[in-house]
Structures are given as structure tokens and as C-alpha cells.
């Protein structure tokens, strides 16, 4: 079997991979998408399922018509399928459907924080979505990363010890959207629980690439809260997921209020519905849920362990080839094996990151992302940018800000595509003085 065979066999599962994109020369080429950490193209099965369901589309939890009953049933049953996918106990956990991971973490930030004095431990490697929502509601402390950008378990334990009794939550990414590092979420969970804190995992980058096991709540290393987005798992129809203990939403008032959230309302009082209804104000996104469930079924059919291994092989291959190119700067640990999803950040000495991304797109049809990937403090750290320099970008907003170029793989990317990328990078490096 050829090196590419298995990888290529996944390509027919994805929409749009044969699309040609225009280059600045006027030529057209079949595009290469190495920007899967931002969003993934849809599965064919997802689009088919959405189209198949569309004639039955109707309101959820609001109508008595036949189609409305079908739509409501699919929507309600989906929670069980999601819980099963992440191995969460359906007796104890519930699923709240939201727009995406960002909305999910914001929602939890309203619900989990009782007082501005309680401490949340975030980390120095988070996406803004797992940092900013906490800042105005509690005292945030950041767990350090080492010189390669890996999370420091020692610092986590030091901080848990130092703030013992006040740390309500450890909130951590399952996998970094900048370096791809996979955090040992169960080890972190066990530590957090030992010190009386809960753990929230931002699963946006992890759930599409690895098997998730939230475990039973009586296991010391179980996950308390998990949040993820369907648009990063081949189901781009605007749905995201919070998996959380039912208890978490039982008491209190939802931050969004309106249709579908109540049992009884008078001018004098409101009796809120039970969760999850209470937390899903407005008409639910049933098409998003249909898409998500179809994606979960496809991912399970392919086998998360298979995908993990395959993406690892492709990432190792890309790294091995990139390391040999002069003037390439790679970030994080690239010599020793570390657990990572298929994400590689880099720069080319002497060429601004925006320029590299532009050349890849306009000269070769290769889509990447460049900049700070909504994780500015982490990227500033990886680039060793002193605070004074960052201030300068504040006072001179027209200056090009420092950043990285990022390639990120999906399950359908191939060795041939990596070879095409490497040959373009080689050409950029060779001609770099003309860029």
C-alpha cells in the first residue's frame, strides 16, 4: 500500500477538496487547506444528513405539528449521543448546546464564579476564549509554561498549594491552537481535585483529533466541564457543546433569558425551567445539531485512535522535513517526541509572517493562518517579546505586529500536500532576499 493510500482514502469524505483556487499569476490550482485549527471543511455525510433532514425541519420544543415533534426528538436525543461520544455519565451530566466553544466558556464563566475573590487558574497557553471571560469575574492566576511553551505541572501544583481553599477552577486547553501540545488533562484533573478545585477543558482543538473520556465523577481524574465546537470537527452549522454536571445549572438564573427558558411567568415572578432548557434561550439550532451528530457518527466510524495515529505520522513527517530547511524557525519542542495534535507554528528569518502566509496563498494556493491566533500572550511568550516592545505596538497600531505562521492538519491532509508545501517553502527561502 502506498504511503498516501490511506490518507487519500479519507479525501472522498470531505466536501470541496477538489476546488481550484486562483493564484496571483492568474493560474488556478487545487487548493491545499492547512488551516484546520481555525475551521474544517464539512464531511460529505454531514451535508447529506442536513439536506436529508431539511424537509422535516421545524421548530424545536414549540410546536405540536408532526415535523416539530420529529425535530424536537432529534434535538433531545442528540444530547445522549454527545455524552456517549465523550464518555460522560448521562445520569450525572447534561449537554447544553451553544454557538461554539467561546460562547460555551463565557456561559460557564457566568455560572461557575460566585464571588470576585475566588481564584481561577488559567494557563499561559490559552486561547483568549479561555482567558478573557474569567478576567472580569474572579481573580485569575496563570499557570506557567516552560521555555518550550509546555505547561508546567510543577507550577500548577505550586499554585494549587499556594491558593489552597480559594481555587475554584482550573481551566485549561486540551490542546494548544498555537503549538498543538496536548495537555495531560487527566493528570491536571487529579491534581485540581486533590486541592478541591474543578477542571474545565477547552476541547476546541482536542475533541476533533483524539478520543475523549470524561470518566465517572467518582474517579479522581474525571473531567468536570468540557466545551467544544462542531465547526472544527467537519460540521460547520453553528453549534457548540458544553458538557457539565446537571447540578451546575440547576440553581440560579441564566445569563440569556427568553423563549424556552421558563416553566411559568407572571408579571410578579419567573419559574425557570430545568437545565438544559433553562440555558438555551431562543429557538434551538436543530440543523447544527443534526450536523454535529452526523460528524460524530463519521468520526466514530473512522475511529478516533486511527485518526490520532494518522495525524501524528503526518505531523512528524512535516516536522522532519521542515527542520531541514535553512532559515526556518520552529517553535516549541521539535526534537523530542511530545504529544501534539497536527499543528506546527513557524517563521522564516527575514520575512514577516503575514508575507509568508500571503505568498503561500497567492503563489501556491496553500491556506494557512498567520498572526497570534487569538492567543496573544502565549505567542508573545514563544517569541520572547519583552513587555516594552508590546507597548510600542499599542502606541503605534499601524506597525506590523509580530506573529507566527501556522499549519494545521485535518484527517484528510496527505503526504503529497506536505511535499507541495515543503517545496514552496524551499522556494521562498531560496528567493527570500527578493520577497
Q: Which residues bind ligand ALA (CB under 6 A)?
A: 37-38, 127, 177, 369, 373-374
Nearer to ligand ALA (CB atom), residue 376 or residue 414: 376
- CB of 127 vs ligand ALA, minimal distance in Å: 5
Q: Where are the alpha helices (DSSP H) in 86-226?
A: 101-112, 132-135, 153-162, 185-194
Q: Which is nearer to ligand ALA, 97 or 378 (CB)?
A: 378
Q: How far is the CB of 311 from ligand ALA (least distance, A)?
A: 16
Least separation in angstroms between residue 35's CB and ligand ALA is 7
Taking the C-alpha atoms of residue 269 and residue 267, their distance in angstroms, rounded to an integer, is 6
C-beta of 160 vs 210, nearer to ligand ALA: 210
Supply the minimum distance, in Å, between the C-beta of residue 184 and ligand ALA: 21
**Measured CA distances, 239 to 92, 133, 254, 411 (Å):** 22, 19, 19, 20
Q: Which is nearer to ligand ALA, 127 or 340 (CB)?
A: 127
Do 360 and 417 contact (CB within 8 A), yes or no? Answer: no
Query: What does the chain come to in residues?
Result: 435
The nearest distance, CB 384 to ligand ALA, in angstroms, is 21
To the nearest 10°, report the CA torsion of 109, 115, 117, 118: -50
242 vs 375 by CB, closer to ligand ALA: 375
Answer left, alpha or beta for residue 363, where phi above 0 means left and psi between -120 and 50 means alpha. alpha
CB of 202 closer than 8 Å to CB of 126: yes
User: With respect to ligand ALA, which residue has the nearer C-beta, 88 or 108?
Assistant: 108
Query: CA–CA separation, 58 vs 301, rounded Å?
Result: 29
Shortest distance in whole angstroms from residue 215 CB to ligand ALA: 26
User: Which CB, 40 or 109, lies closer to ligand ALA?
Assistant: 40
Q: What is the C-alpha to C-alpha distance for residues 67 and 33, in angstroms, rounded to an integer?
A: 38
Q: The C-alpha cell of 1 is what?
A: 500500500
What is the spatial distance between Cα 98 and Cα 229, in angstroms, rounded to a whole number? Answer: 9
Burial class of residue 386 (count of CB atoms within 10 Å of its CB; 0-12, 13-18, 19+) = exposed
Q: How far is the CB of 408 from ligand ALA (least distance, A)?
A: 8
Amino acid at each position: 500500500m502506498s504511503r498516501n493510500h490511506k490518507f487519500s482514502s479519507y479525501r472522498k469524505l470531505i466536501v470541496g477538496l477538489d476546488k481550484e483556487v486562483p493564484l496571483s499569476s492568474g493560474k488556478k490550482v487545487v487548493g491545499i487547506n492547512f488551516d484546520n485549527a481555525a475551521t474544517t471543511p464539512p464531511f460529505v455525510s454531514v451535508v447529506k444528513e442536513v439536506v436529508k433532514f431539511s424537509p422535516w425541519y421545524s421548530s424545536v420544543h414549540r410546536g405540536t405539528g408532526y415535523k416539530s415533534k420529529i425535530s424536537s426528538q432529534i434535538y433531545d436525543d442528540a444530547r445522549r449521543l454527545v455524552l456517549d461520544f465523550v464518555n460522560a455519565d448521562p445520569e450525572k451530566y447534561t449537554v447544553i448546546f451553544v454557538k461554539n466553544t467561546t460562547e460555551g466558556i463565557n456561559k460557564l464563566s457566568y455560572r461557575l464564579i460566585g464571588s470576585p475573590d475566588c481564584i481561577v487558574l488559567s494557563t499561559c497557553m490559552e486561547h483568549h476564549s479561555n482567558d478573557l471571560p474569567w478576567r472580569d469575574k474572579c481573580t485569575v492566576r496563570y499557570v506557567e509554561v516552560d521555555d518550550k511553551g509546555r505547561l508546567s505541572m510543577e507550577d500548577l501544583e505550586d499554585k494549587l498549594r499556594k491558593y489552597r481553599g480559594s481555587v475554584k477552577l482550573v481551566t485549561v486547553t486540551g490542546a494548544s491552537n498555537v503549538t498543538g501540545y496536548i495537555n495531560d488533562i487527566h493528570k491536571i484533573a487529579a491534581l485540581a481535585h486533590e486541592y478541591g478545585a474543578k477542571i474545565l477543558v477547552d476541547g476546541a482543538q482536542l475533541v476533533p483529533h483524539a478520543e475523549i473520556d470524561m470518566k465517572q465523577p467518582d474517579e479522581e481524574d474525571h473531567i468536570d466541564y468540557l466545551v467544544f465546537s462542531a465547526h472544527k470537527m467537519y460540521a460547520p452549522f453553528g453549534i457548540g457543546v458544553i458538557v457539565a454536571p446537571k447540578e451546575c445549572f440547576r440553581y440560579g438564573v441564566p445569563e440569556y433569558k427568553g423563549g424556552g427558558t421558563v416553566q411559568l411567568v407572571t408579571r410578579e415572578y419567573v419559574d425557570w425551567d430545568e437545565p438544559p432548557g433553562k440555558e438555551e434561550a431562543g429557538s434551538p439550532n436543530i440543523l447544527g445539531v443534526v450536523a454535529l451528530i452526523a460528524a460524530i457518527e463519521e468520526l466514530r466510524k473512522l475511529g478516533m485512535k486511527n485518526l490520532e495515529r494518522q495525524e501524528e505520522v503526518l505531523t512528524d513527517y512535516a516536522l522532519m522535513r521542515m527542520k531541514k530547511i535553512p532559515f526556518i524557525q520552529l517553535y516549541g519542542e521539535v526534537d523530542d517526541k511530545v504529544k501534539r495534535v497536527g499543528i506546527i507554528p513557524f517563521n522564516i528569518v527575514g520575512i514577516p509572517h503575514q508575507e509568508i502566509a500571503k505568498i503561500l496563498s497567492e503563489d501556491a494556493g496553500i491556506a494557512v493562518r498567520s498572526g497570534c491566533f487569538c492567543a496573544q500572550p502565549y505567542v508573545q511568550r514563544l517569541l520572547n517579546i519583552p513587555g516594552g516592545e508590546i507597548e510600542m505596538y499599542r502606541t503605534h497600531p499601524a506597525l506590523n505586529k509580530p506573529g507566527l505562521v501556522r499549519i494545521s492538519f485535518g484527517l484528510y491532509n496527505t503526504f503529497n500536500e506536505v511535499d507541495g508545501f515543503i517545496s514552496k517553502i524551499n522556494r521562498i527561502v531560496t528567493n527570500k532576499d527578493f520577497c
